Amino acid sequence: DAGVIQSPRHEVTEMGQEVTLRCKPISGHDYLFWYRQTMMRGLELLIYFNNNVPIDDSGMPEDRFSAKMPNASFSTLKIQPSEPRDSAVYFCASRTGTGRDIQYFGAGTRLSVL
Amino acid sequence: GENVEQHPSTLSVQEGDSAVIKCTYSDSASNYFPWYKQELGKGPQLIIDIRSNVGEKKDQRIAVTLNKTAKHFSLHITETQPEDSAVYFCAARQAGSARQLTFGSGTQLTVLP
């Protein structure tokens, strides 16, 4: 398996624009997580899905953020409108529903909002 | 909710020396404690984990110890090598139906040749 695949790897946009980050989890994994990493706040969980259903979105900072998982092999994190303080590295991770609790992370998307 | 504190934030050691990173957690119900390594430009990767029914676990040069009474756990790296240089994160997962991890703030480890 190619692992968790995120796109794009880098995104530069202007304040007010819509940004969509994409994630393809490892095939067969039941859980998908979206994290945000910044120097100030470290690694924060934004939202996670189980079997494509959002379970906990309490980490989503505000209504400008939304996430969807239309099927088991694809998820998006959307920011609309984007603001400079959204600049961060966004990670997607997935794991199986059984066995060891290992989360497999993608390489991340580095977002810069100017 | 769970709160995980990690120390130190930066650590420099000479090649061949040992490195120790410590974490404390707040929820006594937490039962799973993984350690992740993040290399520059990459996502975190699991390097070792421990469950609350075990006090110590070792994998070659890496070991993790857990003290449930004191609610702290530590990562030990022996015979450090330059490729060990990275950011290390500890995490804790609460017992029950929740599947999310709470991460520590990270430790930048630098192994000096």
The single residue listed with the structure tokens 């991340």 is A108
Which candidate in A34, A43, A51, A98 is best for mutational testing of the B interface (most B CBs within 10 A)? A43
Q: Per residue in B59-96, pLDDT tens?
A: 999 999 999 999 999 999 999 999 999 999 999 997 76
Q: How far does B29 lie from chain A, in Å, by closest CA?
A: 16
Q: Which of B44, B100, B104 sits opposite A105 (nearest CB)?
A: B44
- Asked if A49 reaches chain B (Cβ–Cβ under 8 Å), the answer is no
For residues A110 and A18, the answer to whether their CB atoms sit within 8 Å is no
Q: What pLDDT score was predicted for residue A39?
A: 87
Q: Across chain B, what does the average pLDDT equal?
A: 93
> What type of residue sits at position B13?
V
Q: Per residue in A46-92, pLDDT tens?
A: 999 999 999 999 899 889 999 999 999 999 999 999 999 999 999 99
What is the Cα–Cα distance from A24 to A92, expressed in whole angstroms?
8
DSSP letter for A103, please: P
Q: Per residue in B74-83, pLDDT tens?
A: 999 999 999 9
Q: What pLDDT score was predicted for residue A4?
A: 97
Q: Is the pLDDT of residue B97 over 60?
A: no
Q: Per residue in B5-30, pLDDT tens?
A: 999 999 999 999 999 999 999 998 89
Work out the average pLDDT over A6-18.
97
For residues B36 and B44, the answer to whether their CB atoms sit within 8 Å is yes
